[in-house]
């Protein structure tokens, strides 16, 4: 008899940058690779999620988008009725998606209660169901969220600590041999829930093919993730080119789809006047560009650093330091474990860029095998698939004879529950 599909709902709030969606989509790809019956729905607030290629049996539910102010406060990106209205709208969409898609497992990325608490109705809906009809709830966390004290305070302020016990399991996307925020907060001891370090989520990197771009010339790749706050790095790199600090090397600059249009056009126009500089706004093959680069100049976002480590390519990391210290802590902690060097934006002078890039381009540092665990996507996928399989067998054994159950562990679809759940 043909096995019914297993369904996974993955939540990625994505208000600033592309990191959450990129990590979530890597795990989604690993899930469908691990389970030939799996169907994955990614609920995301990223306005550019549709630009990424996704495998078969993975689809995207795009939520009305939000962004963050310089102070770290959420605000609507386009909907103008205010944040409260946006949160209610997104909450209702998420509860409806969970009710109708009926996932066997829900994987939440990074934010225990979602953006501004928008996941609380969904968590309440799931946890008040009978045991045989509720999905497995799993929280996935970066290895570094922020300084531990600040994370602790933020989770108290947004009621995350109150809702963390709702999760059946917590996955940490980092190497258990390195200190993580979960370790610093003693999550396992405080919650009594399993906390598993699964490794960094780094998708398989393509082989280096230097001849694939720029007529085969060695190149420096400059990438700032989504680009919303990456213009300073691009500008400093162009300063270095203009000063002659990068003679003999071409530069490929990916500005990012979220950089302000006027600023992107200004930098692209300046780059056009300089020798050996090519700019593009976006690519769905950033991994290929990283793998083939001689050196990378980037921020220290989770996905970019994981891919640099996976490729073994030397990278000059210019971490974001506001509104949180996540990137700076990552750059400091990982620098000893790869061909990585940390540099603040204030220190990013033409001389500094030229010294580091030319030294590495001359071969002082070659490709470096990663010294950290990069198997997080596959390991997280296997844990999710195995947990759903075990839960299905357990539910079959425990479900009362009078209970209506379309197939093992499928959550009950209840319109009344959906209406009640959206009231926080």
Contact 126, 134 (CB under 8 A): yes
Mean pLDDT of all residues in the chain?
Answer: 89
Q: Which pLDDT tens digit goes with each residue over 189-198? A: 999 989 999 9
More confident residue, 77 or 117: 117
For residue 388, give the nearest of 136, 97, 32 by alpha carbon. Answer: 136
| Mean pLDDT along residues 123-145 | 95
What is the third-level CATH fold of 210-361? Answer: Rossmann fold (3.40.50)
Residue 385: closest CA among 409, 413, 404? 409
User: Do 160 and 152 touch, CB atoms closer than 8 A?
Assistant: no
pLDDT at 391: 76
Tell me the CATH class for 7-201+375-421. Answer: alpha beta
Same fold yes or no, 7-201+375-421 and 210-361: yes
Note the pLDDT of residue 313: 92
Residue, of 322 and 34, whose pLDDT is higher: 34
Q: Which of 5, 6, 22, 2 is nearest to 14 (CA)?
A: 22
pLDDT for 363 equals: 81
Residues in the chain: 424
Residue 211 has pLDDT above 70, yes or no: no
Domain edges within the chain: 7-201+375-421, 210-361
Is the pLDDT reported for residue 336 higher than 90?
A: no
Residues 233, 309 contacting (CB under 8 angstroms): no
pLDDT in tens, 9-46: 999 987 666 778 889 999 999 999 999 999 999 999 88
pLDDT over threshold 90, residue 74: no
Tens of pLDDT, residues 379-404:
999 999 999 988 776 655 445 444 54
């Amino acid at each position: 008899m043909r096995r019914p599909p297993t369904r996974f709902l993955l939540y990625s709030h994505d208000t600033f940058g592309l990191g959450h969606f990129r990590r979530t989509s890597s795990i989604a790809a690993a899930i469908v690779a691990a389970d030939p019956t799996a169907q994955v729905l990614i609920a995301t607030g990223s306005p550019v999620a549709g630009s990424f290629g996704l495998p078969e049996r993975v689809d995207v539910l795009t939520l009305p988008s939000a962004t963050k102010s310089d102070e770290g406060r959420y605000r609507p990106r386009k909907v103008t009725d205010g944040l409260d209205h946006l949160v209610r709208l997104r909450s209702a969409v998420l509860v409806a998606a969970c009710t109708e898609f009926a996932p066997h497992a829900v994987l939440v990325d990074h934010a225990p209660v979602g953006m501004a608490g928008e996941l609380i109705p969904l968590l309440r809906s799931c946890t008040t169901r009978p045991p045989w009809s509720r999905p497995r709830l799993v929280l996935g966390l970066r290895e570094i969220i922020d300084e531990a004290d600040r994370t602790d305070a933020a989770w108290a302020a947004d009621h995350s600590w109150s809702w963390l016990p709702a999760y059946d399991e917590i996955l940490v996307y980092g190497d258990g041999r390195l200190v993580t925020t979960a370790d610093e907060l003693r999550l396992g001891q405080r919650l009594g829930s399993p906390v598993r370090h699964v490794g960094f989520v780094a998708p398989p990197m393509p082989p280096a093919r230097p001849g694939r771009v720029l007529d085969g010339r060695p190149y420096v790749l400059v990438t700032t993730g989504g680009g919303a706050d990456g213009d300073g790095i691009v500008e400093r790199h162009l300063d270095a080119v203009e000063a002659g600090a990068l003679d003999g090397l071409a530069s490929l600059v990916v500005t990012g789809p979220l950089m302000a249009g006027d600023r992107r056009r200004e930098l692209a126009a300046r780059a056009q006047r300089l020798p050996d500089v090519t700019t593009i706004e976006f690519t769905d093959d950033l991994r290929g560009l990283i793998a083939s680069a001689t050196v990378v100049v980037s921020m220290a976002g989770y996905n970019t650093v994981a891919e640099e480590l996976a490729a073994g390519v030397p990278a000059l990391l210019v971490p974001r330091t506001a509104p949180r210290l996540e990137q700076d802590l990552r750059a400091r902690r990982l620098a000893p474990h790869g061909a990585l060097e940390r540099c603040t934006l204030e220190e990013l002078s033409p001389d500094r860029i030229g010294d580091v890039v030319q030294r590495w381009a001359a071969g002082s540092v070659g490709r470096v095998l990663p010294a950290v665990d990069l198997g997080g996507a596959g390991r997280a996928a296997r844990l999710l698939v195995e947990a759903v399989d075990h839960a299905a067998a357990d539910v079959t054994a425990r479900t009362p004879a009078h209970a209506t159950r379309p197939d093992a562990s499928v959550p009950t679809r209840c319109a009344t529950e959906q209406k009640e759940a959206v009231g926080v």
